[in-house]
Amino acid sequence: MRSGVGDRDCFGGCYFERPAEKLVLEGYRHWTAGYDTGSVVPWEMAWGLYSDILGSSDARVALAELSHFIRTLGRCAHCPLRAFPFGAHHICRDECLTLGIIAANQHEDARAAELCLGALACAPRAREVGEAARDFAAALSGFEQKLLPIPAGVIEDILMRARAPSGQTVH
């Protein structure tokens, strides 16, 4: 993996190919697809991704935290969770916010975490979702899988762009 200036050059073209970002984004996509379809195939694909990057032992722990996070988030999301199909070269609002909350927790950016949490979860369950996100972020950090920071200003921009003229979210 490149570091320094190379990371900035790589941001647009291979940001989602970084192992940490791939674990979060593709993990989110696989896990939500499994819930949406009732098929274990996407979960098996998540296992393959996680075990390839982390090894079997660490993959079990990280997938348990991913599962808990997605399950907790899905129970209280303002709207049904949205995701592109795994492997897509696009990213939707919910995927941005998911990456944002994990990155914010890893980088101790309380403002960015608060913005993501407020946009993803209902107020009564925000604490529970926040804890699940922190646990998932900590597990990834423990396996040396740290996302690049996503500043609060970027999260604010994502939220502004996702709002329709009436102030309602796109979905």
* Residue-level pLDDT at 15: 77
* Residue-level pLDDT at 170: 36
CA distance 157 to 70: 24
* Residue-level pLDDT at 77: 54
Residue 99 burial (C-beta neighbours within 10 Å; 0-12, 13-18, 19+): buried
* Residue-level pLDDT at 55: 98
* Residue-level pLDDT at 168: 43
pLDDT-based confidence at residue 5 (cuts at 50, 70, 90):
very low
| 9, pLDDT greater than 50 | no
DSSP bridge partners of 121: 77
